[in-house]
Amino acid sequence: MERAGSEYAKIGQLRMAELVASALRDRILAGGITDGSSLPKQDELVAEFGVSYPSVREALRILETEGFITVRRGNRGGATVHAPDIGTAGYALGLTLQAMQVRVPDLGAAVADLEPLCAAHCAQRSDRERVVVPRLEELLAESERHLDDGAAFTRASREFHDTLVGFDPNATLRVVVKSLTSLWSVQEEAWADAQVSQGAYPSRADCVVAQQAHERLATSIKQGDADGAARIAQEHLTATQRWVCRTLKDRVIDAASARSRMRFRRG
């Protein structure tokens, strides 16, 4: 009987922990507890929810496992909040695709289908000349400075793509497509570093072609030409992805490496 009683007590403790975790999770998602702030101390949580210390500690473990908080132990410990963002979504999506053994060309095909839609939406924004185009032109200038450095040019070019889709006015599409383009950027940048080290990176002339495609895309967006922006984006992505997929055609996408984690932490 004593053992059964302790098991019931443990079940009750876990249920209370889940309720506390749920309440705190809802606050984080609603913005009531902001990203980077600290959760109340355990004493305060015990008093607020009327539960035991073990229930509060278990609630914190649940939230930490889910990535909502980071718990610092010790006398100066506490729990720092991490509100989910595009980086969080992209990293989780990438890990899922990697676990499914999805290959690089499959990811590239999805990006080539969806990114042109974002380009068209950017061209339709009424504030495109004030918000979208200036940033794209800054990135064009940055990539032009690296035409003679393959790996640096690829990183600058990928920043152009990641930024472009980040301007899509549809929040759902923005999160999904930016997650995919960021994941593709990880694959392409790793490919570029390998090609440079082997002396096999595309020529400067090829980089110029890619740069010119970006310039035409930015111009179409500035002019409000949605169809033209989508067409240029589609043609450019199809052409440039051939370089990567030729080498990585049988490679499962990489989402768990340090390179990937670093990119998704940037959001």
Question: pLDDT tens across 110-126, in order?
Answer: 999 999 999 999 999 99
- 167 within 8 A of 134, measured Cβ to Cβ: no
Residue type for position 244: V
List pLDDT tens digits, range 58-70: 999 999 888 889 8
Q: What is the DSSP letter of 225?
A: -
State which of 63-67, 75-79, 204-208 shows the largest mean pLDDT. 204-208
In the chain the domains, ranked by start, together with CATH numbers, are 2-81 (1.10.10.10), 86-265 (1.20.120.530)
Query: Hunting for tokens 């690829």 — which residue is that?
Result: 154
Cα 26–Cα 27–Cα 30 angle in degrees, nearest 5: 85
Q: pTM above the 0.85 mark?
A: no
In this prediction, what percent of the chain has a pLDDT beyond 90?
Answer: 79
Helix, coil or strand: residue 38: strand
Q: 103: helix, coil or strand?
A: strand
